[in-house]
Amino acid sequence: MTALSTDAIVAIAGAGAMGSGIAQVAAEAGHHVLLFDAFEGAAQRGRDGIAASLASQVSKGRLERAERDRILDRIQPVNHLDGLADARLFVEAITEDLEIKRTLFREVERRAGPEAILATNTSSLSITAIAAGLNDPRRCVGMHFFNPAPLMKLVEVVAGTATSAAIIDTIADTAEAWGKKAVRCRSTPGFIVNRIARPYYGEALRILEEGVADIATIDSLMTQSGGFRMGPFALMDLIGNDVNFAVTCSIFEANFSDPRYRPSLMQKDLVDAGWLGRKSGRGFYDYSEKPSAANDASSGSLSNRPTLAALGAGRALRIDGISILQTDGRSAAELELTMGLPVVLHDLILNTDGLKRIGIVASPGVSDEALCRIVNGLQAEGLEVSQVADHPGMIVMRTVAMLVNEAFEALLHKVASAQAIDLAMRFGVNYPVGPIEWGERIGLPIVLSVIEALFDATRDSRYRPSLGLRNVVTRQRALALPA
């Protein structure tokens, strides 16, 4: 364990949303914290904001008054960089601009002791590039907290090309000592979370643009069938379409216009219109309207719900003589052509416990009457049914397959370990299951076949399967051959 001891002084530069949050985390962990901001009065305002947030914890009975006082006593606003010279750890959380950050780091290095660690909370800039202006770039590291820092558990510990391994260990252990989950990764655009999450938004936007389903249906399927905490459109509205679009553009540009990260014209249109989401009163949804009543389908014991029990056990289902199969990427029409029989496909479900909604699509040979009986049968078991257009991979499966593909691509390029990737997506964006584990649960050959079907249908290299995913599937197939 190489965590900094609580005797070590922590300096934070930038007393905005992130800097104040990180100052609070470090002070709660027992460090003396120097909070610096270049703008007159901003450091004191940052401390006042922390005091207000701690006061609300006290009023809710979650924090003792005496403990609040001890935490606040440890936070000292500082108005000049000279005041930071004694810090052992320096965390920068200022404006997201490479030149401004580089200038600050050079100024800090001139004043700091030889042992001081220089960390940056940047979301999108290269740690290697920030470190490049320093005399000793080995001590520069990414310490990427998520917003709000006191609540969000994840910290990405990001190594630039020159960062020393010992400093990575110290920062990861220190983040853990501060009550966080630390994941180590290499400095590549978007690090782990902002990169692997791109398809969550990007596929939803494409699915909408292609007319597979409407906004509300896509969001409901992702939450009620896929188990995600928020649907992609509700989430983009919460993040702000301007912010979400800017992150996508920055990752797209940083990857030399790789179509995997291509931004959406539909989202750009919303940004151009000023429909930024919750903060502007309108985004994908209109927030001036009353929210519609939550969709709460009844749930009962699985034994009374034979269709659900069969889905849960992975058994083939037949209703009215028609097979109901989980999508494997092929469209329902294509499957009918292959099998010579009409079929109904259902979308990926996370699990049957608490399942409230299921997405289905019927092949052309399914009569309206038969489809009606199938829908009624599913509804009789307490499920809402969303019928979607017949596109490869439907909605939840297509999105999750693309998340898994991106995770395998990051793994292939040694951005982080499989364990770090799964942990990062669970704690950084609250995914119900990490993408690598999810891929294994679905079956990696199925994930690969979904991506290949999307590629075949679109010929868009956005949908090229990751070599990492393909290699694992080929290996699994070789191992499964009879000896």
Ligand X SMILES: NC(=O)c1ccc[n+]([C@@H]2O[C@H](COP(=O)([O-])OP(=O)(O)OC[C@H]3O[C@@H](n4cnc5c(N)ncnc54)[C@H](O)[C@@H]3O)[C@@H](O)[C@H]2O)c1
Interface with ligand X, residue 38, by CB under 6 A: yes
Select from 86, 96, 169, 258 the one that contacts ligand X (CB under 6 A): 96
CB of 184 to ligand X, least distance (A): 17
Interface with ligand X, residue 304, by CB under 6 A: no
Interface with ligand X, residue 19, by CB under 6 A: yes
Catalytic residue among 31, 92, 109, 123: 123
Stretch of 58-66, 142-150, 168-176, 374-382 contacting ligand X, by CB under 6 A = 142-150
Stretch of 83-91, 141-149, 299-307, 436-444 contacting ligand X, by CB under 6 A = 141-149
CB of 409 to ligand X, least distance (A): 23
Judge whether 264 counts as a catalytic residue: no
Interface with ligand X, residue 18, by CB under 6 A: yes
Interface with ligand X, residue 41, by CB under 6 A: no
8 A C-beta contact, residue 184 and residue 420: yes
Interface with ligand X, residue 123, by CB under 6 A: yes
Select from 56, 147, 295, 476 the one that contacts ligand X (CB under 6 A): 147
Select from 16, 49, 312, 377 the one that contacts ligand X (CB under 6 A): 16
Q: Which is nearer to ligand X, 89 or 447 (CB)?
A: 89
**Burial per residue of 444-478, b for 16 or more beta-carbon CB atoms within 10 angstroms, e otherwise:** bbbbbbbbbbbbebeeeebbbbbebbbebbeeeee
Interface with ligand X, residue 22, by CB under 6 A: no
Interface with ligand X, residue 93, by CB under 6 A: yes
CA pair distance 379, 355, nearest whole angstrom: 12
CB of 251 to ligand X, least distance (A): 13
CB of 100 to ligand X, least distance (A): 5
Q: Which is nearer to ligand X, 38 or 302 (CB)?
A: 38
Identify residue 132 by its one-letter amino acid code.
A
Stretch of 14-22, 131-139, 275-283, 363-371 contacting ligand X, by CB under 6 A = 14-22
Query: Which residues 417-446 are close enough to bind ligand X by CB under 6 A?
Result: none
Stretch of 7-15, 264-272, 340-348, 353-361 contacting ligand X, by CB under 6 A = 7-15
CB of 229 to ligand X, least distance (A): 17
User: CA-CA-CA-CA torsion for 364, 370, 371, 377, nearest 10 degrees?
Assistant: -150
Judge whether 53 counts as a catalytic residue: no
Pair of tokens at residue 328: 């494997």
Judge whether 391 counts as a catalytic residue: no
Catalytic residue among 126, 194, 225, 449: 194
CB of 122 to ligand X, least distance (A): 5
Judge whether 123 counts as a catalytic residue: yes
Select from 15, 23, 208, 212 the one that contacts ligand X (CB under 6 A): 15
Interface with ligand X, residue 104, by CB under 6 A: yes
Q: Which is nearer to ligand X, 156 or 336 (CB)?
A: 156
Interface with ligand X, residue 77, by CB under 6 A: no
Number of residues that bind ligand X (CB under 6 A): 23
CA geometry: angle 447, 451, 452, nearest 5 deg: 115
Interface with ligand X, residue 106, by CB under 6 A: no
Interface with ligand X, residue 17, by CB under 6 A: yes
CA pair distance 159, 145, nearest whole angstrom: 15
Q: Which is nearer to ligand X, 197 or 454 (CB)?
A: 197
Active site residues: 123, 144, 156, 194
**Which residues of this chain interact with ligand X, rule CB under 6 A?**
13-19, 37-39, 42, 93-96, 100, 104, 121-123, 145-147
